[in-house]
Amino acid sequence: MMPAVVLFEDHTARCFRPLSDSTPTCDLRCGMFSLRERVALVTGTGGALRIRNHLVPLADDPDWSTGAVSGDDRVLWLNGRIVPGFTGVEDLRDAAGQDFVWLDAAGPLAAGLDAESSGLWEESWAAWRQGGATGVWQPPLPGGLGQLAAGPGGQWHGAKPQPAMDRLVAEPCPGWIWDLVPRNAAVLAADIAWLGERNWYHRPWGLVAAGADPHWLRDRSLVRGESLPAGVHVVAPDRVFSGPDLELGSGVVIDAGNGPVILDRGVCIEPHSYLQGPLYLGDGSRVKAGSRLYGESSFGLGNRIAGEIGESIFGDFVNKQHDGFIGHAVLGSWINLGAMTTCSDLKNNYGPVRVDLGDGPVDSGRRFVGLLAGDHVKTAIGTLFNTGTVVGFGTNVFGTGMPPKHLGSFRWGGGSDAPAYDVVRALEVAATVAGRRNCRLTDAHENLFRHLAAESGE
């Protein structure tokens, strides 16, 4: 029997700011999809979401409920920060027929529970959220479970061994937002291997179309090694995958020697651009002439891309239409980067990058960390960001000099003393931008803006 699925957030959601301020962790993309999208494609249905209060009104996917789970003998709980890939989701679904808990040092990652134990988790999680979702959530662990496997990815406690447990604990789960980028290459390759010729779709978080039949909800499939127009140079054509209505200009180079290059429906690549795999370009994205996109990168729906970008993850409807370098970055949606906006992703001393997500600097343990920017961020022309800079939701960055390494949400300017950005003006701009992309804001979006503005002190 198929278990019911619960996707949950816990105290680790704070480690995925600034994107997690406006998006549940289960909807942060790594590779081509989010965890919620992968679960839906594997199971053919949805499940339940246990997400923070201010995000609940934006949960408008009819297959996913924020209400009670009832009538199911087995329930599979999945932490939104895990990136198991499609086969990992299948493994966890199959393992949920027996009691197990998968944990790492930060807390629970997944659990297969009977109805009674799941009810106890529900009560515990509801109390945590009712308390402001600020402390550490520690759910009650079922009795009678022994440790059966351990590795860099945590410990597996179960009633009996499971075929996939050693594989699942072999690699650490992302614990911080910057951990998504190093996982991107392997997840992209695994995504396209699982998809094959299957029909699939995207269900992006928080997007509301201005009209009927939004293009991102339409089923599509990808074709391997489709014959490409004359004047396009391809390395490893058997690892190039394309959707319908692809446009390729003359002089384009597609290099899939290091991993797949996946060009979704309606992608347009203008002349003399270089694309290196592993790479995913989302539905309707446009790459401007002379761009250089390097591997381990993925771009969401409707991106407008130019300049040099490497090892980065972009959300939906991001505008980077001019020159400038972005590397090892994680960007939200509805971002506009002015001409020549550039970020550093490596310190001059090659040391580990320290990042401040709002609670003080943290040693990332990584040599490469670029810009981390929340939804609706805008930058002026010529903006330069230091290594590991964080910019919060809705902030407009401009002015002389380099901004501080942490700019909170709804800031107006690029200094440490930047004043608040008026939320009414921010909503007006966001509505205009959404309308230009055939989307619209709802009352739920407005409430989100006002909630985050109040939290930021605006």
Q: What is the pLDDT of residues 61-99, one digit of tens each?
A: 888 988 877 666 899 999 999 999 999 999 999 999 899
Domains and CATH numbers, the chain: 4-175 (3.90.550)
Query: How far out from the chain centre does Cα 167 lie?
Result: 23
Compute the chain's Rg from CA coordinates. 21
Q: What is the pLDDT of residue 220?
A: 83
Query: How far out from the chain centre does Cα 442 lie?
Result: 22
| pLDDT per position as a tens digit, 283-303 | 999 999 999 999 999 999 999
Are the beta carbons of 374 and 359 closer than 8 angstroms?
no
Q: Report pTM.
A: 0.94
Query: Cα dist. 145→76, 105, 142, 343 in Å?
Result: 16, 18, 7, 47
Q: Which residues contact 394 (CB under 8 A, 6 or more apart)?
A: 374, 375, 376, 377, 409, 410, 421, 423, 426, 430, 449, 452, 453
| Range 399-405 average pLDDT | 91
Percent residues over pLDDT 70 in the chain: 99
DSSP 62: T
Task: Return d(Cα 318, Cα 376) in angstroms, integer.
Answer: 9
Query: If you search the block for the tokens 């920060």, which residue do you land on?
Result: 81
Task: Judge whether residue 458 has pLDDT over 60.
Answer: no
pLDDT band at 162; cut points 50, 70, 90: confident
Q: Which residues contact 424 (CB under 8 A, 6 or more apart)?
A: none
